[in-house]
């Protein structure tokens, strides 16, 4: 009788366990969920609006939007650009330290066509 009950319990819990793995509690987080590192977010951007705000997963910056160059810190004030775009920003050490290394997402192919 015990093995049958155990089998029934596993069959009932399996869908819940699979759903939890798809979304994730630590990784694979959706936009708007709290995060500590960009690697946790499906979008690849853990964003905060100020030094005192909580960071949340956010979409990457689109063309002509403000951006930050990719960073080792993993939390951004401006998200990096979407795939295929480059962040035309101040990439100096001073810009990184003073948090003024923001730029604008541009299509690198656009400048080659001119």
Q: What is the pLDDT of residues 24-55, one digit of tens each?
A: 689 999 999 999 999 999 999 999 998 899 99
Give me the CATH topology for the region 24-112. Lipase, subunit A (2.10.80)
99-to-13, 26, 34, 77 alpha-carbon distances in Å: 47, 27, 22, 8
Residue 5: per-residue pLDDT: 46
**Number of helices and strands in the chain (H, E):** 3, 5
Strand order in 103-106's β-sheet? 66-67, 103-106, 86-89
Return the domain boundaries, the chain: 24-112
In the chain, the percentage of residues whose pLDDT exceeds 90 is 54
Tens digit of pLDDT for each residue in 87-105?
A: 988 777 776 666 678 999 9
Question: Does residue 20 surpass a pLDDT of 50?
Answer: no
- Tell me the whole-structure pTM to 2 decimals: 0.70
């Amino acid at each position: 009788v015990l093995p049958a009950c155990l089998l029934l319990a596993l069959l009932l819990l399996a869908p819940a366990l699979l759903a939890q793995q798809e979304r994730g509690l630590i990784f694979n987080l959706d936009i708007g969920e709290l995060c500590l590192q960009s690697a946790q977010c499906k979008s690849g951007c853990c964003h905060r609006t100020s030094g005192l705000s909580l960071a949340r997963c956010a979409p990457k910056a689109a063309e002509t939007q403000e951006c930050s160059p990719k960073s080792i810190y993993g939390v951004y004030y401006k998200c990096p650009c979407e795939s295929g775009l480059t962040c035309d920003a101040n990439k100096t050490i001073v810009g990184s330290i003073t948090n003024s290394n923001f730029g604008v997402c541009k299509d690198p192919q656009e400048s080659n066509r001119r």
